[in-house]
Amino acid sequence: MQSIQPIQPIEEDVQEEEYILYLVINLKKTTALDTLKQLIKDSALNCECESEYFTHETEGTNNKITKNNIIYVVTFAHQQNINLYIEFIRTIHEIEIESIFHNDIIIHGSKNYIKSLNQETQNPEKIKNQLTKSRENQFYKKIFSLI
């Protein structure tokens, strides 16, 4: 009697796509924060994000707060989904797109993002060069047309 062996799936060398979008909500300029957070979260889920979370960024000296932001980080698996989400986000004036990464390579960084880089650990010129390469890459043409 012969035993039936299960068929082993063929493993393909398929690279996972990952787009990470960092959005900034400036708390000094925002009213109805809870409503805004729920809106952008629901929209990300509707655009089939893989993961999402909020974090807080605060900087200051002595009693003066110089930066008080909520950062919303959203991960997408497909460019078409991040494109839909960016198209929607651009209609909300309280939100700034701080940066976009594709498979750990920066493809967009705002002026504020570039200024905030720690020059001891990151080379701003190297990042600016990567941003220029990304802007010239036809693969990201749709993303850049939306931002």
Please say whether the structural domain 19-146 has been given the CATH code 3.30.70.330: yes
- pLDDT for 21: 93
User: Which residue shows structure tokens 């787009």?
Assistant: 19
Under 8 Å between Cβ of 23 and 74: yes
Kindly report, residue by residue over 58-79, the tens digit of the pLDDT.
Answer: 888 888 877 888 999 999 998 8
Kindly report, residue by residue over 77-101, the tens digit of the pLDDT.
Answer: 988 899 999 999 999 888 999 999 9
User: Which residue shows structure tokens 């990470």?
Assistant: 20
Phi/psi of residue 97, nearest 5 degrees: -80, 110
Cα–Cα distance between 81 and 86 in angstroms, integer? 9
Residue 123, H or E segment? none
Six token digits for residue 126 = 């190297």
- pLDDT for 63: 83
- pLDDT for 85: 92
The residue extents of the domains of the chain are: 19-146
Q: Which of 49, 32, 17 is nearest to 139 (CA)?
A: 17
* Model confidence, pTM: 0.79
The total of other beta-carbon atoms located within 10 Å of residue 51's CB is 12
Kindly report, residue by residue over 105-143, the tens digit of the pLDDT.
Answer: 888 888 888 777 767 667 777 777 777 777 777 777 777
Phi/psi of residue 76, nearest 5 degrees: -125, 150
Burial environment of residue 111 by CB neighbours within 10 A (0 to 12, 13 to 18, 19 or more): exposed
